[in-house]
């Protein structure tokens, strides 16, 4: 089940809200856990067992690490937790990748494993691991209630595409959260905006990406158009999902961390990754980069640390070489900014730095979106005129004109410009009163427009389900 579906919007969510706010506080976690399992079971009936097993493994390992705190057994159980979590993730996500590479290198003929990637396994595995590691470090208190812990892992708003919510972030909210009208209202607004970003913007841009992939008249312009369209699509798709997750969390009394802060306004690659998929970056920093020594090491070890983190970041996103190269590309650029170009970049005008960042981001997402490294390199070759294709084709011009409106909306919507204009206008009392009165009408109209698109059977993929 996805948030941008009629079943979720008009069946699952209303029923959950009625039940959740009808039961006493002591039953609210049970209700959320039960409905989260239904939510996951709807899309992954068989792998629901894997979700429950991973959750219980995290709970059990946390209890054992706490019980033997200060002894070698605590470290043993921590290692056991990491091995269990990464083994499950490795088997389901990376088995065929390794088999394919063994076949290529050794000319073998090993058969691929007929498995489907469980939705959300990359996200909930990292949440479980962060909990057991933090227990071992003594940074969080052990959760003795199995239901509460398993609800934290399976909580449906952030289950299948993040943000990666560390246990410490919502530890006090598992039992002591408050429910207020202002939080519910904020949650509804945030969810609706995310829903609009996903259905009205990302899905329309996805259509343009599909047109590029099926192009009958490829051209340099079309290759660039496809790359830019996907760059905007993935932002509105993923940030829209994060908005919906944060909004739903707030409705149920949880305050999840922000996952995006207008990354496309960044003026360096370093700044971009402080704004994009923030929870993933923080996870790797806390549990990989700093344990390796972070930046408090000599230059060679610093290079090693950053390349390891970005190799893993790319590999986390997908079991293919184009994801690994994508991650390492950013690792190399971050090293260049940190060790070579830092002072030079700061002297360059902001607009040029911004163009540099967006150029890199588009190039990176062309690799990211490819089905293979070969396809990614082919598309990059098309962008830079290395293929036998014309500079411009009638088909490319047609789609450029047809989708120019949504591209412009995407470019403007990926910046804080609209929010700043609204904030400025609301400084005038009469404008504030008018917007306060019209705001409910606006959100109702947005919901109706989204519903119309979904009833019409519009293209409705979720990019991050792949990871």
Residue ranges making up the domain that contains 279:
183-455
Tally the domains of the chain. 2
What does the pLDDT look like over 168-185, one tens digit per residue?
999 999 988 889 999 999
Alpha helix ranges (H) inside 142-268: 146-154, 167-170, 173-176, 181-196, 203-213, 220-251
Rounded to two decimals, the pTM is 0.94
Does 266 lie in the same domain as 412?
Answer: yes
According to the model, what pLDDT value does residue 266 have? 97
Averaged over 329-341, what is the pLDDT? 94
Does 69 lie in the same domain as 197?
Answer: no
Asked if the structure places residue 308 within a domain, the reply is: yes
How crowded is residue 202: how many other Cβ atoms within 10 Å of its Cβ?
Answer: 28
Does 344 lie in the same domain as 195?
Answer: yes
247 to 166, 186, 260: CA distances (angstroms):
18, 7, 14
Nearest to 124 by CA among 79, 146, 155: 155
Confidence of residue 200 (pLDDT cuts 50, 70, 90): very high
Does 27 lie in the same domain as 160?
Answer: yes
What is the Cα–Cα distance from 213 to 215, expressed in whole angstroms?
A: 6
What does the pLDDT look like over 102-149, one tens digit per residue?
999 999 999 999 888 899 999 999 999 999 999 999 999 999 999 999
What is the Cα–Cα distance from 38 to 51, expressed in whole angstroms?
A: 12
pLDDT at 457 over 80: no
Asked if the structure places residue 465 within a domain, the reply is: no
Does 31 lie in the same domain as 159?
Answer: yes
According to the model, what pLDDT value does residue 241 have? 95
Does 352 lie in the same domain as 294?
Answer: yes
Q: Could you tell me what percentage of the chain is helix, strand and coil, using 3-state DSSP and rounding each to the nearest 5?
A: 75, 0, 25
For residue 317, indicate whether it is catalytic: yes
Asked if the structure places residue 467 within a domain, the reply is: no
Nearest to 244 by CA among 4, 440, 465: 4
Sort 327 into a burial class: Cβ within 10 Å, 0-12 / 13-18 / 19+.
Answer: buried
Does 233 lie in the same domain as 132?
Answer: no
| Sequence-distant (≥ 6) Cβ neighbours of residue 222 within 8 angstroms | 212, 215, 382, 393, 395, 396, 399
Asked if the structure places residue 1 within a domain, the reply is: no
* DSSP code string of 48-101: HHHHHHHHHHHHHHHHHHHHTTTSHHHHHHHHHHHHHHHHHHHHHHHHHHHHHH
How crowded is residue 393: how many other Cβ atoms within 10 Å of its Cβ?
Answer: 18
Asked if the structure places residue 466 within a domain, the reply is: no
Instruction: State which of 124, 151, 177 marks the end of a domain.
Output: 177
According to the model, what pLDDT value does residue 145 have? 96
User: Which one is predicted more confidently, 342 or 124?
Assistant: 124
Output the CA torsion sign for 175, 177, 179, 184: negative
Averaged over 345-360, what is the pLDDT? 93
Instruction: State which of 177, 205, 223 marks the end of a domain.
Output: 177
Region of poorest pLDDT, from 37-51, 145-159, 230-244, 376-390 = 37-51
Does 94 lie in the same domain as 11?
Answer: yes
Q: Which residues of 256-291 are buried (b: 16+ CB within 10 A; e: fewer)?
A: bbebbebbbbbbbbbbbbebbbbbbbbbbeebebee
Does 242 lie in the same domain as 271?
Answer: yes
Instruction: State which of 123, 153, 177 marks the end of a domain.
Output: 177
According to the model, what pLDDT value does residue 116 have? 87
Averaged over 335-343, what is the pLDDT? 88
Does 191 lie in the same domain as 158?
Answer: no
Q: Are 102 and 110 in contact (CB under 8 A)?
A: yes
pLDDT at 465 over 70: no
According to the model, what pLDDT value does residue 16 have? 97
Write down the catalytic residue from 61, 211, 317, 430: 317
According to the model, what pLDDT value does residue 319 have? 94
Asked if the structure places residue 16 within a domain, the reply is: yes
Phi, psi (rounded to 5 degrees) for 3: -65, -35
Asked if the structure places residue 107 within a domain, the reply is: yes
Does 366 lie in the same domain as 312?
Answer: yes
Examine residue 163 and say whether the peptide bond preceding it is cis (omega within 30 degrees of 0). Answer: yes
According to the model, what pLDDT value does residue 460 have? 65
Does 109 lie in the same domain as 70?
Answer: yes
According to the model, what pLDDT value does residue 346 have? 82
Region of poorest pLDDT, from 188-202, 223-237, 420-434 = 420-434
Confidence of residue 209 (pLDDT cuts 50, 70, 90): very high
According to the model, what pLDDT value does residue 175 have? 87
pLDDT at 347 over 90: no
Percent of the chain with pLDDT over 90: 86
Q: Which residues of 296-310 are buried (b: 16+ CB within 10 A; e: fewer)?
A: eeeeeebbebbbebb
According to the model, what pLDDT value does residue 24 have? 95
Asked if the structure places residue 232 within a domain, the reply is: yes
């Amino acid at each position: 089940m996805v948030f941008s579906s009629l079943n979720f919007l008009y069946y699952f969510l209303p029923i959950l809200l009625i039940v959740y706010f009808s039961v006493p506080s002591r039953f609210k976690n049970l209700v959320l856990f039960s409905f989260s399992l239904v939510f996951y079971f709807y899309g992954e009936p068989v792998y629901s067992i894997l979700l429950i097993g991973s959750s219980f493994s995290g709970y059990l390992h946390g209890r054992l690490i706490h019980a033997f705190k200060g002894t070698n057994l605590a470290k043993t159980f921590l290692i056991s937790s990491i091995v269990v979590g990464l083994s499950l993730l490795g088997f389901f996500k990376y088995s065929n990748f390794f088999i394919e590479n063994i076949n290529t290198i050794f000319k073998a003929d090993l058969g691929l494993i007929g498995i489907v990637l469980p939705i959300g396994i990359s996200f909930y595995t990292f949440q479980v691991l962060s909990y057991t590691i933090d227990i071992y470090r003594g940074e969080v208190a052990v959760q003795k209630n199995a239901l509460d812990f398993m609800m934290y892992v399976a909580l449906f708003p952030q289950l299948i595409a993040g943000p990666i919510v560390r246990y410490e972030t919502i530890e006090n909210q598992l039992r002591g959260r408050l429910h207020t009208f202002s939080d519910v209202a904020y949650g509804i607004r945030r969810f609706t905006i995310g829903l609009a970003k996903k259905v009205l913007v990302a899905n329309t841009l996805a259509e343009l990406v599909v047109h590029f992939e099926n192009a009958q008249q490829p051209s340099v312009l079309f290759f660039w158009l496809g790359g830019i369209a996907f760059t905007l699509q993935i932002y509105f798709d993923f940030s829209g999902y994060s908005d919906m997750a944060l909004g739903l969390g707030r409705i149920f009394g949880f305050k999840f961390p922000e996952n995006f802060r207008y990354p496309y306004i960044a003026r360096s690659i370093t700044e971009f990754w402080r704004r994009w998929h923030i929870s993933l970056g923080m996870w790797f920093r806390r549990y990989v980069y700093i344990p390796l020594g972070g930046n408090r090491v000599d230059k060679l070890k610093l290079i090693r640390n950053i390349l390891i983190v970005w190799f893993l970041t790319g590999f986390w996103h997908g079991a293919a070489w184009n994801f690994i190269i994508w991650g390492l590309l950013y690792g190399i650029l971050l090293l260049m900014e940190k060790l070579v170009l830092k002072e030079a970049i700061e002297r360059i005008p902001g607009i040029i730095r911004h163009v540099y960042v967006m150029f890199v981001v588009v190039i990176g997402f062309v690799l990211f979106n490819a089905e293979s490294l070969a396809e990614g390199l082919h598309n990059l070759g098309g962008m830079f005129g290395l293929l036998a294709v014309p500079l411009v084709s009638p088909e490319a011009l047609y789609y450029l004109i047809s989708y120019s409106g949504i591209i412009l909306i995407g470019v403007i919507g990926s910046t804080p410009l609209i929010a700043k204009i609204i904030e400025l206008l609301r400084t005038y009392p009469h404008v504030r009163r008018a917007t306060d009165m019209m705001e409910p009408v606006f959100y109702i109209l947005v919901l109706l427009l989204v519903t119309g698109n979904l009833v019409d059977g519009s293209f409705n993929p979720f990019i991050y389900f792949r990871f």
